[in-house]
Structure 1
């Protein structure tokens, strides 16, 4: 089981980092939706950093939870149209 947890934690951390690299805010600046998009992105980035902190502290359970929450923030933003992503990506549930 620990090997599975380690692999899954690594995979989710990489997936969140890749998703952050691909998702771009696509709503006009100065609008409430732009502010929401920026907040979603900041939350995802914060969870990525938290996950890395937990990973370095040898706490894969909390690292995986942080990566999952961060990815959820970003994926929700994509579904709401706050971010544009490449059409050929498999990182999001568009």
Structure 2
């Protein structure tokens, strides 16, 4: 898990979907359940909505995997395009220090 230290200025500017993108990046591969646990009180419904938006924008990839008990779970990870966006966020973070 890679930690990113955001300054208060960038925290104010970032939208919720971009904060979720950063959280996915920090977690590596994750699931909606894990994102809910790691978020500041966001519901699974809210996280799912933003995950869908991020996927539609091409910023994340969602793969369906089988669990040990035969059910499906969605594995979420940042796409190449998403990594480029994160790079810009980090540049902005540094600029606003």
Scaled by the length of structure 2, the TM-score of the pair is 0.30
- Whose RCO is larger (CA < 8 A, sep 6+)? 1
Of Structure 1 and Structure 2, the greater helix share is in: 1
